[in-house]
Amino acid sequence: MEQLGFDFGVEQAPLLKVTPARLALYDDCPRRYRMTYLDRPSPVRTGPWAHNTLGAVVHNALRELFALPASSRTPARAEALVGRHWRGAGFADAVQSTRYADAARRWVADYVAEHDVSDDPVGVERWVSATVGSDLARPSLIVEGRADRIDARGGALVVVDYKTGRTAPDDADARRSRALALYSMAAARTVRRPCSRVELHHLPTGTVAAAEHTEASLAEHVDKAEETAVTTRDRTDRLAAGGDPDALFPARPARRCAWCEWRPSCPQGQEAAPAARPWDLLVPTP
C-alpha cells in the first residue's frame, strides 16, 4: 500500500543570490550579462566613459560629505570634495574635463544648499539584504546590494539614489525602478524599519522623483526579479555544461549598442548602431 503523507525526500531549491544590477544587465542584453559575469578570460571592452566618471565623482563626493559632522556639510565643502575626487577619464580633452568639473561642483553645492543635510542618514552606500519570493512561505531569492543613501523620516526609511544622466527622471521612473523597489525591501529587512518610499535625486537639474510602494507593487517587482534570476541560473548551468553561448545569451541589438562597453567584442552590436564617443552621454552644460 502506498503510504500517504509528506514527501520529506524533496529538498527545497537553494536560494538564488542576486543584485539589482545583475538582473537589470540581463534584461538589458543577455550577451552583455554573459560578457560581464561569465566569460573568462574577459573579452575586449571599450575604454572609460566620461558620464561614468562624472557619476562616480558625484557619488564619492556625497558619500564623503555625509561622513563629516553635520556642521561641516556646507556647499563649499561639497565643492571641495568634488575637486578631490575629480578624474578626467573619458573626456574629450582637458577643456571639457574642466568644464564638467566646474558643473559638478555647482550641482553638489546647490544640492547641499537646497536640501537639509543636517540629519545623519541611516546608511550611506550601505549593503542591504533580504530574502524574498513570490511565495512568502518558500522564498527563492536573496536580494542584496549597496544603496546610495538610506534616510530615516517620520519613523520610516527612504531609499535615495543619485542620478547624473542626460534626462531628469520623473515619478514614473522611480516607480518602475526595480533596483529601488528591491533596495526598499532589503533596507526594511536589514534595518528593521518600514520602507515604502524611494527617490531619484537628479543632481544636474535638482529634480527629486519619488514613489510610494505598496505590497502589490513590490510583489510585481519581486515576480519579475524571480523570473529573471531563474532564467539566468538555468542558462548559466547550461553554458557550464557545454551549451552554445550565443544561443543561451543572445545579443539584443539596439541603439544602446552605440555606447556598450563590450562593443569591440560584439559584431551584432557594431552593426546595430555607429559607435558613440566616450563623452556623448554627458548631460549638456552651458
Q: What is the pLDDT of residues 48-85, one digit of tens each?
A: 999 999 999 999 999 999 999 999 999 999 999 999 99
* Model confidence at 134: pLDDT above 90: no
Q: Model's pTM, two decimal places?
A: 0.92
* Separation of first and last alpha carbons in the chain: 83
Confidence at residue 11, expressed as pLDDT on a 0 to 100 scale = 55
Backbone angles phi, psi at 280, to 5 degrees: -70, -20
Q: Is 239 exposed, middle or buried (0-12, 13-18, 19+ CB in 10 A)?
A: middle
* Model confidence at 7: pLDDT above 70: no
Radius of gyration of the chain (CA): 21
Q: What is the pLDDT of residues 152-191, one digit of tens each?
A: 999 999 999 999 999 999 999 999 999 999 999 999 999 9
Backbone angles phi, psi at 246, to 5 degrees: -75, -30
* Model confidence at 217: pLDDT above 90: yes
The mean pLDDT value for 232-249 works out to: 97
What is the rounded CA–CA span in Å between residue 67 and residue 261? 32
> Torsion angle, CA of 60/66/68/73, rounded to 10 degrees?
100
Confidence at residue 253, expressed as pLDDT on a 0 to 100 scale = 96
Q: What is the pLDDT of residues 21-54, one digit of tens each?
A: 999 999 999 999 999 999 999 999 999 999 999 9
CATH topology for 123-214 is Lambda Exonuclease; Chain A (3.90.320)
9-13, 107-111, 129-133, 169-173: which has the minimum mean pLDDT?
9-13
The mean pLDDT value for 137-141 works out to: 86
- In the chain, where the domains are located: 123-214
Confidence at residue 6, expressed as pLDDT on a 0 to 100 scale = 44
